[in-house]
Each structure stands twice: as structure tokens, then as C-alpha cells.
Structure 1
Amino acid sequence: MNKCVPLAVIKQFGNEFPGIYNRCEDVDGDVSFTSKDLQTILSHGTDMQDYWSTVEVIKTCHLWRKFKQEYRFDPDLEEMILEQDSLMDSKLPTKVLESIPFQSVFVQTSRFAVKGLNAFAGFFATVHKSQNKNRLFFCPVYASGNVCGILGIEFSDLTLGETIKMTFDNYQNMLKDNGVKDEKAADESYYSDMCRMMNQMLQLLLYICAANTEKEADPEHEKMFHPAKGKIRDQYKEVKIWNVGKETGAIIRNMKHSTGSRHSVAHTGSHTPKRTHIRKGHYHHYWKGPRKGERQLILNWVAPTIINGASEDIPLTITKIGNV
């Protein structure tokens, strides 16, 4: 049985703050700390910034245990997605994130890592709703089991790149307005690490949001899957496990084998021969529906394209262009 990381996390916080999820339910999702809870937080030597993070992480745990959705990426597909161009300057509308299939999901990863930081086991992505604006909050989980809460992205009419920049700017202004001194926030290398972390989580989440995402319920786990009805018991059988990109991953491995085993190059007329290479995948969006009526924003993942490949090297789901 694979370790269910999100289930371990919510149990960890449930043990550290007994009864916290029931109290969240009583106050409609807000976190209601007892004096004993506050003493527990203070015992860790946390400052106000860490207090806010703890509040957001507990909100995330509270929501995830209601849906219990876990997505497990094929390693090769995950690697390919993470190698795509950064989203920090993306022109995609932020509204594409509204296609997240559940209010809270957990994405288990094997490739997600940021230089200078420990490897990650995955992350929560949760929509925290409020009267003013809804916000997508990320909660990475380290391979060691430690959990951290980082910036949330507000749903807006801006592009994704603009929204990410605004998120980081607002964070720094908030610290300043509240008199919190965060040397990390002003550190360029730390800022870059946070940007890379945000980019990698968004890359994987967007694939899950795409209309053409490849996923299937894990066949072995489906034999025992039994969603909670009434009282939530936080058992493994209550978790819905999705395998993401199983067939696509197999195609990628076949493509790597076939192109890697060839030493010949493709000739394009009288020009210098060019080796087979791959154009990176990316996301494409369009609007569906009448121009003057209600329209739906559709997001699709465009698979990488093999350039100058031999015909037998081209997987059926990847389009070949260029001369042979």
C-alpha cells in the first residue's frame, strides 16, 4: 500500500490540536483556537507569520478531509510538465484555475523539488472562499513530513503572470503594514525559490484543470474505496486515488527509447542536418459559448511536438512537424 501523505498530515494536525476540525465545522470553516491550542503554537517558538500559516494549513486540512481527492502523476509525464516554460510571465487568464475539479485536492509528486529546499512529497491546493474574493492556497508537504503554508493566489481578471507578481507584492506589503520583519521576503534568492515553487505547483495543477487531462481512478484502490457518509473517520478507504498520465507516461518512455537509440539525423533539403528534438508542451485556452451569452473558459494541455523525427518515432498522441 502506498503511503497516503495527505491523510498522515491531517491526522498529524488533528493530534496536535485535538478537536480542531469539529471547531472549524462549528464556525463554518474558520479556525477557532482554544487557549491550549495557542500554547501549542507558542511552544514551537513561532512568530505571527507562522501563526497565519498554521491557520491556513488547518483550514486546508479541514477542507481536504471532506473531499479526500489525491492525484498521483506518472513520473515521466510529471517531469515533462515541470520542464515547460515558466508561468511567471504567463498570459493565461487566472480564471483557468477556477476549473479545479474539487475545492481541495492533494497532488502527490516524485519530481517536484526546488534547489536549496528539501524535496517534496506533494502539495495541497485548496480554494478558500470568502465574501470578498476566493483564493487558491498552496500547502507543500516535505518528504520529511513537515508542512508549510505559502502564498495564496486570488482569483481575478488579470493574467496568471500578473496575478503571481501581485501576490508576492501584496505579501511583502502586508508584512510591512503589520510590522513583521521578514528578511527572507527581501532576499532575492529566497524570492526566486518561492517563484520556482509556485511555478511547479501551478504547472501540475493546471494539467489537472485541463479539459483533456488523462486520469483514471486507481483500479486497485477502487476495490476498497468507500467514501465517508455522515461521520468522517479519516480512513484510507475514504480517499479517492487518481492515476494521472499513465498512458501518456508510457508514450513518453517509448519516445525517449526510440529517439535515444538512433544516431542518424534528419535532413531538411540543402540545409544543415538537424537532430530530432522536442518542442516543449504548453497550455492553450479558448472560450466556448455564444459571444453575448454565458461563456465557458476551456483549458487544454498541448503535448510536446517532435521536430524532424522519423515517422516510426512519433507516438500517436504527439504531432510531428517538419521535413523528414
Structure 2
Amino acid sequence: MAKKLNEPLPFKALKQFPEKTWGLCDKCVELKQQMGWNDCCILPIAGGMAVAGEIGMNPAGDGYKVAALYAWRRYKEIYSFDHDLAEMLEAQADVEMDIPIEILFQLPYPCVFIQHRSDAGFFAHFEHDVNNSQVEFRMWMITESGDVNLPLILHIEKQYTVSEAVDKGVEEAMKRSTPDHDFLIGQMLDDIKQRAAELIQYVLYICADNSQREENPEQKKFTRRTDESEKKPKDVFREIRKWDVGFRIGSQIRRMKADRHDQSEAPARTYQKGSKKAPHARRGHWHHYWIGKHETDERKLILKWVAPIFINGDEGDNIATIHPVK
């Protein structure tokens, strides 16, 4: 008997909605030219709310889910992060992200699913608010146990940095709190902001010029993608493409951790005034710059992840420079 593949989290989320949901979404998308929403958005949440109401579900509570799932099922891209790299990325979430918000438009697809833990992941996608033409970036997390969090929202304005977009999005989310979402009202603003800052690290890594990702060899055996499958998806395993993100660098991180542990077990060394500091780690961070002529199509924002540095440790402790895998 053939080995049964584990059902990915997005497929479990899709099953919450009847099959007719997606045909109704198709009809909404036919209105795109008339409504004029941004090309980065597959289906606005307003359309998702209309569909949710049509199938007898809660427009306010289910509309954003319909929009995210409809956008994801077109391409079915899953990015699975190495757990040690994930820890390092989240550890740098409190560092100011002065990266221009335009970097998010370098996400390879309008919607992706990011598996940042073995039992949880989140959809990352673009939204166009048809009421005010505001373009947003949304992150909606789901778990194996079925827990669903409200989407975290970043407002995209040309002059914003990523940090400013996070701040603005959290402020707006608090304003939109309703009696249906009492738990959000009770949460501390800083806690929500911290979670948004943590999750956006994964998105930034995917957008980075030196990100390390390779197609998952097991899923690659099954993946069969065509233009027809994107236009009329059947929601089967062969339509999924899965990427292993940072697994080679994760291996380096684990070796570095092991070396640091060995050093901590060694006899203590005394560091007198004027001598070099005791071994310690400098967290990873982002570096960005522009290339190409101003106000031309050649102009491009380049983002790179600078790996953590282990200072004053033994030679070979630090993570090697990672080059992009094309």
C-alpha cells in the first residue's frame, strides 16, 4: 500500500467550506475590471464576505478566511522553515525594521502559506480594501488543533517602513475590534505588535535576495502544475509545491549551538578589564539597498539577511555566508 501523505494545514482549512464556495469566488473575480482592485490582490475580503453570506456562513468572521484560501489555492505554495532558523528570525523581531514596505511586493506569489512550526503556519497575502482603496498585507495563522487567530494587518503606504506598517496595522486592528472578537480587545497592544513583528520576519526572509530555499524532494515527486490547474484547481496533492527554507543554514546553526554548549561546559575563563569580552552572540538583522536608476523600471530594492555572529568564540563558530539558490 502506498504511503499516505500527511494532509497539509491549508487543505484542512479548505475543508471548512463547501465546494461551491470557490465557484462563487470565481464569479466575484470576474468583477475585478469593474471594481478596479489592485493586481497584487486575488480577491478582496469584501468579495469573501459576500461569498460567506451566500453560503450561509458569517461574513465578518469567515469572509477574510474565504479571501485568503481562495488566493492560496490558485498557486498552492508552501514554505516550510527550519525550526532553528525560525527561532533566530523571531529573536530579532524587536530590532527596528527600517526596510521600505515595498519589499513585500517581492513575495513570489500573491498568497503563500508559511509553515513556521510543525503544528502551525500562516497565510501571507495582499488585500485591497474596496471602501478606501487601501492596500494591506495580511497574515492569518492556523494550527493543527484548529485554533484560528485573527489576521495581523500591515498597511502599505509608499512612505512607510516595515516597522511603521506594523504599528499602523495594529492600531487599526484595535479600532476594528467587535463584540465577536472580545479576546482581541483584552490583549495588550504590545503583544499583538510583537506577534506581527515576529511573523513578518518569515515573509522578509522569503523576499531576501540571499534567502536559502530548495524544493522539497518528497513533494517534488508528486507535484504536477499546469496553467489549467491554476485556473481551475482541484485541491489535490499534486498541485502543491513545497519549499524547504533554511535547512542547510539550520544545520550550521545547530553546529554553532553545539560548539557554544561545549565552550560553556569548559572551565570558566576570567576576563579582566582591558581583555577581550566573553563569547556572546550578535543577533541577525536585515540590510537593504537600492540598485538601478531612480524613477525607472530598473530600480529595485535589495534585501539581505545578515546571519548572527558569535563573537570571541572559537574559530569556525560563525554561520557561513549563504548565497541564493536559483
TM-score class normalised by the smaller sequence: 0.7 to 0.9
The superposition leaves residues 164-188 of structure 1 with CA deviations (integer Å, 9 ceiling, x where unpaired) of 222222233445xxx869654553x
Does residue 304 of structure 2 align to residue 290 of structure 1? Answer: no
Uncovered stretches (5+) of structure 1, i.e. residues with no partner: 42-50, 112-119, 319-324
Instruction: Note the C-alpha offset of 1:312.
Output: 3.6
Contact 1:277 1:309 in 2 (8 A): yes
What's 1:99 paired with?
A: 106
Give aligned pairs, total: 292
Give the match's secondary structure for 2:277: coil
Does residue 173 of structure 2 align to residue 171 of structure 1? Answer: yes
What's 1:192 paired with?
A: 190
What's 1:210 paired with?
A: 208
Residues in 2 aligned to 1:270 and 1:164: alpha-carbon distance in whole angstroms: 42
Residues in 2 aligned to 1:173 and 1:224: alpha-carbon distance in whole angstroms: 45
Instruction: Note the C-alpha offset of 1:310.
Output: 1.8
Contact 2:309 2:319 in 1 (8 A): no
The superposition leaves residues 261-294 of structure 1 with CA deviations (integer Å, 9 ceiling, x where unpaired) of 1226788896245332210001111111124534
Instruction: Note the C-alpha offset of 1:250.
Output: 0.7
Contact 2:271 2:278 in 1 (8 A): no
1:33 corresponds, among 34, 44, 51, to: 51
What's 2:34 paired with?
A: none
CA RMSD after TM alignment: 2.7
What's 1:8 paired with?
A: 12
Contact 1:266 1:274 in 2 (8 A): no
Give the match's secondary structure for 1:261: helix
2:224 corresponds, among 226, 238, 241, to: 226
Does residue 247 of structure 2 align to residue 246 of structure 1? Answer: yes
What's 1:148 paired with?
A: 149
Output aligned runs, 1:49-128, within 5 Å. Answer: 51-86=59-94, 89-110=96-117, 121-128=120-127
* TM-score, normalisation: structure 1: 0.81
2:97 is matched by which residue type in structure 1?
S
Residues in 1 aligned to 2:189 and 2:271: alpha-carbon distance in whole angstroms: 44
What's 1:321 paired with?
A: none
Residues in 2 aligned to 1:312 and 1:168: alpha-carbon distance in whole angstroms: 41
Residues in 1 aligned to 2:91 and 2:141: alpha-carbon distance in whole angstroms: 19
Contact 1:266 1:276 in 2 (8 A): no
Residues in 1 aligned to 2:307 and 2:101: alpha-carbon distance in whole angstroms: 21
The superposition leaves residues 9-42 of structure 1 with CA deviations (integer Å, 9 ceiling, x where unpaired) of 11222x3xx401110110113233376633x43x
Instruction: Note the C-alpha offset of 1:129.
Output: 3.7
* TM-score, normalisation: structure 2: 0.80
Residue 144 and residue 185 in structure 1: after superposition, are their counterparts in 2 closer, same or farther (change >3 A)? closer
Contact 1:72 1:242 in 2 (8 A): yes
Contact 2:101 2:156 in 1 (8 A): yes
Instruction: Note the C-alpha offset of 1:161.
Output: 1.8
What's 2:304 paired with?
A: 300
Residues in 2 aligned to 1:34 and 1:275: alpha-carbon distance in whole angstroms: 58
What's 1:138 paired with?
A: 139
Uncovered stretches (5+) of structure 2, i.e. residues with no partner: 30-42
Contact 2:155 2:168 in 1 (8 A): no
Percent identity over paired residues: 28
